[in-house]
Every structure is written in C-alpha cells, then in structure tokens.
Chains A and B, each alone.
Chain A
C-alpha cells in the first residue's frame, strides 16, 4: 500500500477537523431538544444554550407515554412506514425495470408521462375529491396508496438498473428466466445501495408525514404521530395566531418540555435504524458472472 504523502496527511487532519465541527453543529438542535425534554418546566423557559439539563426531570416523558392519542399515533406511523416503504420499493422497482430497458417500445413516451407528473398537479381540491370518491377518506390506506410510486424514485432506480450490465440479463434470459425472475433474482440484489437509499427516503417521508393525516383523517385513533405532534408544538405560538392558523380562544399551553419530549420520541427510532441500513450502502463487488 502506498504511504500517504505529507500533503495528504495535512489534508486528512483538516478534513477530519472540519467534518468534526460540522457534525458538532448539526447535532446541536438534537442536544438542545433532548436537554429541554429532560428539564424541569421552569428551567426550559430560561435563557442559555441548554446543552444539558441542570436538574433532570422525567415528567415530560411520563406524560407523553401516558397519552393514549400519542400511542395510537405511534402505531399508525409504524404501520405507514413499514407497509408504505415496502410497497414503494416493490412497486417502484417493478415499474422501473421495464423502463430501464432501452429497447422498450415507446420508452421515451412513458418517461415523459412520468416526468410530467412531477411537475404538474391539480392541487388539493381535486385530490380531495378523488380520495373521497375512492372511499379512502378516514381510512388508513390513504397513508400508503396515493404516494406509492413517485416519479423521482422511478428515475433514480431506473438509472441504477441501467448501470447493471445487460449481459447479466441476457445470459439469464437465455437460461430461460422470465423478466420477473431476472428482476427479483438479479437486479434487485445488485441494487442494494439505491434501494436502501430510496427506502430511507421513503421511510423518513412516511415517518414525518402529517399533512395528509390532517386533511383526510377525522378519527383521532387513526392519526399519525406527527399530526398529533404538530398540534401541540405549534398551538401556543403567537405567530400561528397572527397567521390565522390557531384559534386564539382555546389555546392550551403545552409546556416546552412536553413538546421537546414528543419530538425526541418521534426522532429516536429513525436514528436507531439508520446505522443498520448503512451497511447496505456498501455494494458488494461483482465478480465472475459476466467475465466468466
């Protein structure tokens, strides 16, 4: 192995320092929120950077976990994230595979149709009417169906599929494999990095989603966690009052600690899941199948 030159060593030092500082700033809001969530209500109001709570208090977390609505919300969010991500990966891959084949008839036309949807949309009113006519209003299916396949993801996965040598598919076809088998047994295993990325994007999107819950769902037990969180985080904000979003009559003051605790509880699972997904970003080296 070649020894790094002096220039490279200096670069490495700077690089690691710079990245370390960056990571420090990015972690600050998180640290701040954790600290507030563990503070007493009075301390949360005080000035300062709040890097750590001076007195630790678990009241906020106790209150969050004892709230039934929150627990329902968690369950709904889990449902939506797992089912939604799975459906998206599956359906988008199925859809992207044919589009990655250059000799597909009218390929350009299909691509344009897809791309067009990324740009033009009818807006909220027609969407609401559609959902209503499909009977999806106040149904949990509304969380996973309408957003199942997105043009952006189709393009990303399709491009990745395109980078896989055609020879693999051809040799499999000669051996009698159908398109479906080629897709599931060859392409998808080789696409782990991109599938992991899309999975992460999609999962995070579902985890953080709240707008569709607010618009389409009326039963409190079917709400997702973020919709509930939004209610309590922004409700006592003057900004929202003057922007006409909050009813000045009935604001119930939710302590900053509970807001913070709710944020952390919604955040933690994602943080814990990510390191496990990380390893899928390292694609295995392709050996043999083609060259042999």
Chain B
C-alpha cells in the first residue's frame, strides 16, 4: 500500500518537474507586437445606395429583430440589419466570447475602454479622420461641440478606430436636496450657499432637533465612501476646487486631484464634521441606496446628487418629496446650491458626454462600402432631426407622444410595457436606442423636453457649474487599467480612515507618497503625454480645447 503511494507520488513529482521545465523553456520573452490594421484605399471605395448591404450590428439593448425602428431604417438606407441584442451585463460578459467564437460583427457598440482593447486584439478596422470628415461632417462637428474628449479613447497606436458617441445626460451637474422644513425649524430661512453656512446647518440638524422629535435622532448628511467614489462628498471637495479621484489641471499641468493640498483641506473639514458627529457614522459602509433611504426616512437632512426635477413631483409616489411627506406631511424640499469654499470655488461633478463609441470589425476591409453606409447613416441622424427622433423614440403618435403631466416625451400604451417596448427596440432621448446609439444635439433635445423640466434645469443645473476630469474621463489615460483601480481603492481606504479618525490627518502625506510609488507616478507621466496627444487630436478633427 505504501509502496503504491510512494510510486505514485514520485511519478507525479517527476511529471510536474518535467512539465515545469518545458513550460519555462518555451517562454518567448518580450511583448506581442502591436496590431497593424489592413490598409484600405478609401478614395476608391464607392458605396452604391441602390445596393442592399447586410450589416451585423452588436448594440446594447434588448429587442427582437423586425421592430419598427429597424424596418424603418432598413428601408431608408437600403440595409438589412442582423442585430444581436444583449443587456448590458450580458454584453460585457458575452462580447469577448462572441469574438472568441469568430463572430465579430460588422458594427459594434463599444463601451469606454473597449476600443483600445479590441484594436489591440486586432479586431477593428481603422477609421481615418478624413473619412469621417468626408462622409459625416455634421456629425463630426456635433461631437466636437458636445464633447470632443470622445476622440481620446478611440485612438490606438496613433490611429483612430472608432466613432465617438455622445451621452448628453452626462453634461449637467446634479445638485443635492435640503430638508427645507428642517432649516426653517432651526431658524435658517435660506438654502446654505457657503461652506460656513453648510456647517451651521449640519450642526443644527444634529443638535437642534430639526424634526421636533424630542430626541437626538438626526444627522446632517451621509456619504457613500463604500462603493461609488464619485459620490463621496463631491460638492465639498469642489468647494476647494478639486476633484479628488480624477485628473485636475493646475497651471497648465495635469495632476491628480487626490494629491493636492486642497484635498487635504477638504479632508480636514470633513474629518472635523465626522468628529463632531454631523455626518452619519455609517458613511463608510453605506451603499448609495441606503444613503438615499436615510434621507427619505428623515434620518439625514441633506442628500447629494438627487436634486432632479422629478424629485419634487408629488405625482410620482416614490419621488423624494412624496417619500418625506409620508412621514412628515409638512415636509418641504429645496434644491441645494453648490457650496462656495474659502476661495469662492463651487461646482458639481459631471461625468461628461463621451466614452462610448461605434467601431467596425476588421473584416470589413473586404467590404468597406458598409463603413461608408453607416457613416452616412450617422450623418443623416445629425442633419435630419425627424429621422433621429424616429430612430430613437419610434413613431410619434404610435409609440410615444408628449404626455402629461410635464409634456415631455413618454411612451404610449401598450409600448409603456417594458417588454413590448423592447420588441421594437425603442430607446430614450437621453440615452439613445439600439440603432441610434447616440443622443441628439442639445438644441434638438431642448425642443423635446417639457417646459417646466427645462426651466428647472436651466435654473438649478447650469452648465457653468459643471466640473469634470481634465482629460475627459480618468480611464482615458493609458495604462490606467494596470494601476487606476488599485490606486483608487487605496485612496478610498486611506480617506475613509482619515475621516473616521482611524488615522491622523497627516497620514494624507504618507498616502500621497504611496500613491506616487505604487503606480501613480507612472500614470502622471502618461497623463502628461495624453494631454499633449489631446492637443494634437483636436487639431486634426477641428475641435477646440
């Protein structure tokens, strides 16, 4: 018995060693060479509009082939779509599998960062700027106008591989909400506008019994340090003119917001607020929905990000106003102002309107007319307003119309049922649809927004207050994949510990050192290069900085 075990073990060890040596020897050192796409002579390609083209289309959204939008577009442009419908989660997981299985579609929707990866894998066709200027000049101008940073992620190895898409919703800052009834109860009769006024309000919320309950059961506010770094007290940091988790421009240079002395100032302030119990101690673990729930349940008096038009509408049973009124019928809400800091800065963070792109499979080098057809389609969307609306929302009067109570566009039954709407691949103006994956220009959108909603937006969500990453989106910097996730995590942990008091404020300096040492310095270099690259790209596409 023992002998057998011993024999088996010896054989196993020998085999393993042999395998190990073989594998080690078989290692070629060095990187895989970068991908060079096939060269297409675009000048000689002719796209005959009378020729029907079959286009396989991988978009994002659920649907069924043969919906109204698809048929309409097929007729108009003489194409036959072969769409692949996936939800976003399925899209992320399934896309690499589809590609691995050799099913690269003709046209593919690319979330942020995917263009680079897919290009690196050799799956995409180059899309020269001149080609876009030739066949989709209006569309190009729209991109440059709305958010030209979209050109950054589509660049790989000096060549352009995608057509940027815009997401207009990401341009408007989102202010928070105050419990106006609490403010009045503690003797404040206007919405706080400076940090000092904020502090006074928060302190009163904690200690002056704003909800008249006789108990000390309320807090000023909470935050979300647990998951969403973009929701950890962004307004406070911006009062010091800094975005802690993103790239910021200072004296013409790109630096990391989280390492600036202003961030330390903001942390000092927040730390004091935590110490004085103005902030809900759960802030370190609360996910966003609990933060929101705490506000709705009257535990906190301020919540960030939720100052939307819809929050004030009693007609929605789950709007914030409805929710707080359930518990306190006299409750009132007021839109927050972005607080002004010691040097007068204020702002609200926005995501920006860029990141997504449309890309073409590299096999289209043999069928380049398809590329031109799609470019013409995108151009038509940019020039023909009616077409864009139809392709995005569906037919007015059938699928949607201007509906009460706010007279913005809304679905008509039966298309308001999620499933039925999906069958037609209907989308939304703010987000696009399967076949119109872009959002129309602001001037078009404004015509389709309810008057009241638009007035609200113009008053409380002004574009001038919008602040964003200096390079568009943080992930646009090359090599972000390698370091950014871990660095942000480290920062989240460090900041949480400073705020909860687990660490002293001066730990911030150690954090800055660590940040640089663990990859931040590399990213800083890359960001600098990216900034120069951006200037060059803008010149080529005709965008202004």
Contact = CB atoms under 8 A, between A and B. Distances in A.
Do A and B touch, yes or no (CB under 8 Å, in the complex)? yes
Interface of A: 40-43, 45-47, 66-69, 124-125, 128-129, 132, 214-215, 218-220, 230-231, 234, 237-242, 244-250, 252, 255
A218 B84 contact: yes
Contact of A46 (B89, B94, B228, B327): B327
A255 B418 CA distance: 13
A42 B323 contact: yes
Contacts of A45: 293, 296-297, 318, 323
Contact of A128 (B97, B231, B293, B432): B97
A41 B87 contact: no
Question: Chain B: interface residue count, which band?
Answer: 35 or more
Contacts of A124: 97
A250 B61 contact: yes
Given A242-B227, A246-B89, A42 B101 contact: no
Contact of A129 (B87, B100, B430): B100
A283 B529 CA distance: 74
B531 interface: no
B419 A69 contact: yes
Contacts of B326: 42-43, 46
A40 B422 contact: no
B42 interface: no
Contacts, number: 102
B62 interface: yes
A117 B303 CA distance: 52
A214 to B, nearest CB: 5
B87 A237 contact: no
Contacts of A246: 88-89
A272 B192 CA distance: 56
A244 B100 contact: no
Interface in B224-238: 224, 227-229, 231
B525 to A, nearest CB: 26
A30 to B, nearest CB: 21
Chain B CB within 10 A, most for which of A43, A66, A231, A242: A242
A41 B62 contact: no
Interface of A, helix, strand, loop or mixed by DSSP: helix
Interface string B49-88: 0000000000011101000000000000000000011111
B354 interface: no
B93 A128 contact: no
Nearest to B103: A132
B93 A215 contact: yes
Contacts of B231: 238
A215 to B, nearest CB: 6
Contacts of B430: 249
A237 B169 CA distance: 19
Contacts of A47: 293, 297, 299
B93 A214 contact: yes
23 contacts: A41-B317, A46-B323, A46-B327, A67-B417, A68-B419, A69-B418, A124-B97, A125-B97, A128-B97, A129-B100, A215-B93, A230-B89, A237-B287, A237-B289, A238-B289, A239-B288, A242-B229, A247-B88, A247-B111, A248-B351, A249-B167, A249-B431, A250-B88
B26 interface: no
B194 interface: no
6 closest A-B pairs by beta carbon, nearest first, are: A247-B88, A238-B288, A249-B431, A47-B297, A128-B97, A250-B431
A41 B417 contact: no
Given A41-B318, A237-B289, A220 B422 contact: yes
Contacts of A247: 60, 88, 111
A214 B88 CA distance: 11
B218 interface: no
Contacts of A230: 89
Contacts of B493: none
Contacts of B61: 250
A250 B89 CA distance: 12
Interface string B158-169: 000000000101
B417 A220 contact: no
B227 A255 contact: no
Contacts of A43: 326
Contacts of B432: 249
B227 A238 contact: yes
Contacts of B92: 244-245
B62 A220 contact: yes
B21 interface: no
A250 B62 CA distance: 11
Interface in B191-233: 224, 227-229, 231
Given A45-B318, A125-B97, A125-B100, A218 B287 contact: no
Nearest to A69: B419
A157 to B, nearest CB: 27
A42 B318 contact: yes
B90 interface: yes
B510 to A, nearest CB: 26
B89 A245 contact: yes
A220 B318 contact: no
A72 B304 CA distance: 40
B460 to A, nearest CB: 21
B322 interface: yes
Contacts of B431: 249-250
Contacts of A42: 317-318, 322-323, 326
B185 interface: no
Nearest to A137: B101
B228 to A, nearest CB: 5
A73 to B, nearest CB: 11
Nearest to A221: B64
B277 to A, nearest CB: 20
A241 B94 contact: no
B428 interface: yes
Contacts of A125: 96-97, 100
A164 B85 CA distance: 52
